[in-house]
Structure 1
């Protein structure tokens, strides 16, 4: 009997899973659904669900996914943990247990059109100077206003760790907001409503955006066969680490799933080094294991995407994961877009963000 799986409708999210065959029939949902659809509803319909780590709090509160120690042997999970790229495996650990396999690793990095700019900024000060010349876009649509804000905060505060309910220090938040406000004032209107896929498609096809300093990296747009391949680089720094908020995807097993030996073996195959260095990157996927990111063959095929952004992924911060964080992320992004468009003062804008965040924590604990 075939298991029913749900992933997202981009070549990076679907093609390799489809090419793997096996005992899973994969269906897709749009990126916006992947980012915000209620996880309990999806788990009621599917045996396997590809999700992002901020959904864990909601999933655990609903009791709709299985802890993986009930699915796999401890030595299999330990092997994957040791082999995972950066914090990808750790991002799916919560309440003392592991809840998803890190199929795909990603974080916010810098995207450039090398035929339009020779600039290779490495700091936020350099990005700000460059933005005054035009052609520097921000990713602010959907949840990405909040994610861009948090990434700048992570550059300013090398110790920022949001996974257990902490929030950003007020002085860091104000400085991060001011950086975004200056960039937003120069960001082209043509990309304002676009999600990361839309921005990268736009950059590949149009000539008005030469650089986006923070956008979730998609290896597909670095393919040398594209008419205008993009170059990806580490996210900007502010004296410490390249600031970025972890993305990527994990495969979770829903409570409705009847696990078979064939399905268990198939999932372990997807997380094997053989598949992660072959099947996954050869079919438009973005591997979750460190060995694939360091593989010279893979880097040569994909414009050095992996080697050029690996430092950012290793340093990426994990988002909050409490029940209600997804709703906060949506509301915070809308608040930030409004604050940036109306040029609201930094203190006022970030004080409201902090209030919203702490209210979401209190609601989760009620």
Structure 2
């Protein structure tokens, strides 16, 4: 009897990250009896923090966060899909990208992962609580602030999420961050963003400094205090009947100064380690997972949040997710793609602490920005080498 080809995969430990990978692996094995794929999981924080270089030494398949793309390209620890999959398939993936999801894994002219999962901060509500309060769904930042003053708003204030919200607020005020090698954002916009952000954060319960996005959604569904979340990385699971105690509805972001707000692109991509003994098999499985048919059926039916536009526009998919995908697609389409050069990971890991310190304690906004600028300039040392 021929020994099976065994692939090990690592993903993150939420139903959205783990269950669809197990389901697709099971089906792939049924179609390819000579292959066995075993998925393990890590925490959401480890998902953002642990080096792809280290993981690629141990695993054949990796679900990665797109800011790792530059690091992966620099270290050569992932196999480029361009060298294994057809140009037709990759062109189809690009044409059906949800916002800049496909682009987020392209660096130095190579595709380092397939965008099998798409996400960005979107708004979420408990319609039943809003109705009981006699309050309409917020449409403007001012309305969100008013609802927050009533103790009915929550969102993640963890350092990484606070930095992503900072980026989004900068974009929403008309200026993309990290476009200048000397500073993260202009002083005029940066000061305005910090003050605006703090005005909202000051109205939140301090417990939200300890909650990641899906913990916010757990809070919203398991208890009946929080009626609205203005921005958190979306999880379509909570829009599905039976997943949680209550169903959440998801929405586009509110307007700020008369214009819809912009958020910072997230999502996850499926990558193949260049250290794997079975790269071609890993690539074939990745193509299976990212295919339009699987994305709109097996993947999304097993708690997945697809990265293929066809699935986002599918009527059946939207029917059992309270129109999650249809309602939040505009948010994805205008989401900001943050820097992915190798050194930016250092900035991303630490700059959020500066933002959180300010949100908690206040202080001189110009001094806060200068701290961020100093750290940003230090992060640029790798940029010349890595694109």
TM-score by structure 2 length?
Answer: 0.89
1:347 aligns with 2:352: no
Distance 1:85 1:162, change over 3 A: farther
Q: In the alignment, is the contact (CA less than 8 A) between 2:253 and 2:331 conserved in 1?
A: yes
Query: Whole-Å Cα distance in 1 between the matches of residues 166 and 136 of structure 2?
Result: 23
Residues 278 and 312 of structure 1: CA distance in aligned 2, closer, same or farther (over 3 Å): same
1:274-294 Cα shifts (integer Å, max 9, x gaps): 111101110000011111111
Residue 167 (str. 1) matches residue 184 (str. 2): yes
Q: Please state if 1:7 is matched with 2:11.
A: yes
**1:221 CA drift (Å):** 0.9
Q: CA deviation at 1:55?
A: 0.8
In the TM superposition, what whole-angstrom CA distance separates every residue of 1:70-104 from its partner, at most 9, and x where no partner exists? 12121211111111211110111111221110000
Picking from 253, 265, 283, the partner of 1:246 is 265
> How far does residue 260 in structure 1 lie from its aligned partner after superposition?
5.6
| Residue in structure 1 matching 2:298, options 259, 274, 279 | 279
Aligned residues: 365
Post-superposition CA distance 1:166-219 (Å, at most 9, x none)? 832322222211111011111112322111121111111122222121100000
Q: Select which of 183, 206, 211 maps to 1:189.
A: 206
Q: Is the 8 A contact 2:7 2:60 kept in 1?
A: yes
CA contact (8 A) 1:5 1:47 kept: yes
Q: Using the alignment, how far apart are the partners of 2:66 and 2:180 within structure 1?
A: 13
Give the conservation status (yes or no) of the 8 Å contact 1:188–1:209: no
CA contact (8 A) 2:341 2:382 kept: no
Q: Deviations 1:318-340 (Å, cap 9, x if unpaired)?
A: 11111122221221111111111
The answer on whether the counterparts of 1:241 and 1:315 sit within 8 Å (CA) in structure 2 is no
Shift of 1:163: 8.2
2:21 aligns with one of 17, 21, 40: 17
**Are 2:341 and 1:322 aligned?**
yes
Tell me the CA shift for residue 49 of structure 1.
0.9
Higher mean alpha-carbon deviation, 313-322 vs 258-267, is at: 258-267
Deviation by residue 1:232-291 (Cα, 9 ceiling, x = unmatched): 111233243431000000011111123465443322121111111101110000011111
3-state SS in 1 of match to 2:255: coil
Q: Structure 1 residues 181 and 240, CA, compared in 2 at 3 Å: closer, same or farther?
A: same
Structure 1 vs Structure 2 CA RMSD: 1.9
Instruction: Tell me the CA shift for residue 113 of structure 1.
Output: 1.6
* Gaps in structure 1 of 5+ consecutive residues: none
Paired residue for 1:293?
Answer: 312
Partner of 1:220: 237
Alignment-derived partner of residue 96 in structure 1: 109
Instruction: Tell me whether 327-336 or 213-222 shows the greater mean CA deviation.
Output: 327-336
The answer to whether the 8 A contact 2:167-2:176 is kept is: no
What does 1:96-135 align with in structure 2 at a 5 Å threshold? 96-117=109-130, 118-135=135-152
Q: Equivalent residue of 2:348, what SS?
A: helix
Query: How far does residue 162 in structure 1 lie from its aligned partner after superposition?
Result: 4.9
For residue 363 of structure 1, report the CA deviation from its aligned partner.
5.2
Residues in 2 aligned to 1:164 and 1:36: alpha-carbon distance in whole angstroms? 25
Of stretches 14-23 and 84-93 in structure 1, the one that deviates more from structure 2 is: 14-23
- Cα distance in 2 for partners of 1:308, 1:8 equals 25
Write the distance in 1 (CA, Å) between the matches of 2:179 and 2:65: 13
Say which of 237, 246, 253 aligns to 2:255.
Answer: 237
Larger Rg: 2
Query: Retained in 2: the 8 A contact 1:64–1:254?
Result: yes
Q: How far apart are the structure 2 equivalents of 1:220 and 1:325?
A: 30
Give the alignment's TM-score, normalised by structure 1.
0.94
Kindly tell me: are residues 114 and 291 of structure 1, through their superposed partners in 2, closer, same or farther at Cα, counting changes over 3 Å? same
5 Å matches for 1:331-346?
331-346=350-365
